[in-house]
Chains A and B, each alone.
Chain A
């Protein structure tokens, strides 16, 4: 039996009739057509589906859309400025060549923003430990770590 779910996604209120078993990631991708949030492993290990819910990074493939009822959600589509200027974290990823195929990047960027909010001046060790939940199979992580270390003070200065 379909149920109604409502939340705020990237600043816009959205609501839809969904099946109870609809995963949040499917709601985002298939109902809202925001396909920047990826489904990688679909078993809550790889982190490609990472989004922000009420200020915390979570894995959208491992929760129901109904669990996000009333929540404020930010996806990768919601972090650049209105005029298209990239978020400093996105810009740093571009600058440092922190992606190759790009599949993990949306989740990686959302996790990275969450990370520098909690650790405004992180050490390399902290960055590597905190990226535990995001897999990248191309880069070997070095450039991702460089990008995050570079972006951290800029992201901290945003608030």
Chain B
């Protein structure tokens, strides 16, 4: 790891001021991706601004319509939250499947979506549930937030403060785990919002994406059979030593079908 300067931010304003002063500084959330990337020298920020002690960024609130989760809330906290389990069990389940226990004890919602790893789980929840990302400057719709591989709509100096998840009628997340890294080879979130159906896929492509054809079919009839014969094209999907693009395309259909089954239970 290259040397850097480190400081703890007192609050969001203080963190934003730090970013304004040094445009190359990086925010440190749980660090479960950032520290690993810095160790490999894939990332070498000259300054880290640690959000770890900002209590206003942590916590879970549910008002019966939305579950609002602070950006620095750890995966283990979301997975164990009785509020989340009651309102959106699919979200608690998704959080419980991220990495392993130790990673979930450090990793945060805000860190995960700001990083936007193509195989991360949370982007599927944010897009699948049609959440709204709140920052220190504005609110961003899920559909406009994730831009591409490791790329988001966040401007320089913008800090995620919370994510608001509308409570769906029913939803489920199914993930085919890459067993060594525990990232999603393919993960599919299916949500019936009551008004429409959303299907979000992570792990398969360079960035989370929706499958409109599946959404329309499930909108007509919310049943596993509705998606069983819908294939996504393998063109542009990820292909690596773990799985070919063809296999990932196949898994999208299988995971979507299983997610619908789980949502109906």
Contacts and interface: CB of A to CB of B under 8 A. Distances in A.
Nearest to B101: A133
Q: Which of B28, B35, B102 neighbours the largest number of chain A CB atoms within 10 Å of its CB?
A: B102
Contacts of A90: none
Interface of B: 1-6, 8, 28, 31-32, 35-36, 38-39, 48, 50, 52, 76, 99-103, 105-106, 180-182
Contacts, number: 76
A112 to B, nearest CB: 11
A45 B181 contact: yes
Contacts of A155: none
Interface residues of A, number: 30
Contacts of B35: 23, 62-64
Contacts of A64: 6, 28, 31, 35, 48
Q: Which of A43, A62, A111 neighbours the largest number of chain B CB atoms within 10 Å of its CB?
A: A62
Interface in A132-155: 132-134
A140 B35 CA distance: 30
A20 B48 contact: yes
A38 interface: no
Contact of A62 (B8, B31, B48): B31
A1 B5 contact: yes
A111 B4 contact: no
A45 B102 contact: no
A67 B52 contact: yes
B106 A21 contact: no
Interface string A1-23: 10100000000000000011101
A5 to B, nearest CB: 10
Contacts of B180: 45
A20 B3 CA distance: 7
A104 interface: no
Interface in A38-94: 42-45, 47, 50, 53, 56-59, 62-64, 66-67, 69
Nearest to B6: A20
A62 B3 contact: no
